[in-house]
Amino acid sequence: MNSGGTTGGVRLVLRLEGALILAVSLILYQRVFGSWEIFALCFLLPDVSFAGYLLGPSMGALFYNSAHSYIGPLLCAGVGLATGSHLFLLGTLIWSAHIGFDRALGYGLKYSEGFGFTHLGRIGREARLIPTASGESPPVLR
């Protein structure tokens, strides 16, 4: 079973990186005159990928990671830039903001062991209950 993910300073840097991506996405969205009503309606769309967990943890991780890695927004940005589509660029910024928000909160890409196993470390109630490999209590993840 995978023990989780990054810890300490590396974890902090990755969470700060997510917060910065969120901030930059919001600033750029405002600068390109995106509709904040559309932003609010679309911000949580990547979380529809949670439905993949109905098919089990492996499929759940696949669906979640597909919607929560920066690969999708970067491809979307490429299409937007290649075609001059303002809509694709707005979608890129909303999608990136969502991922940055999640990462800033400590929600990382998922391992197939279950939703609580992420590249940023364990999350959820179980993370506080299961001792680490050294026998110590794990740090409380916030």
Q: What's the confidence (pLDDT) of residue 2?
A: 46
Q: Nearest CA to 105 among 60, 51, 141, 62?
A: 141
pLDDT tens series, the chain, 142 aa? 445 567 788 889 999 999 999 999 999 999 999 999 999 999 999 999 999 999 999 999 999 999 999 999 999 999 999 999 999 999 999 999 999 999 999 898 999 988 888 888 887 765 655 555 555 444 444 3
Q: What's the confidence (pLDDT) of residue 126?
A: 57
d(CA 90, CA 98): 12
DSSP state, 135? Answer: S
pTM attached to this predicted model: 0.83
70's tokens: 């920066």
CA-CA-CA-CA dihedral for 21, 22, 28, 31, to nearest 10: -160
In sign, the C-alpha dihedral spanning 20, 35, 82, 45 is positive
The SS3 of residue 117 is strand
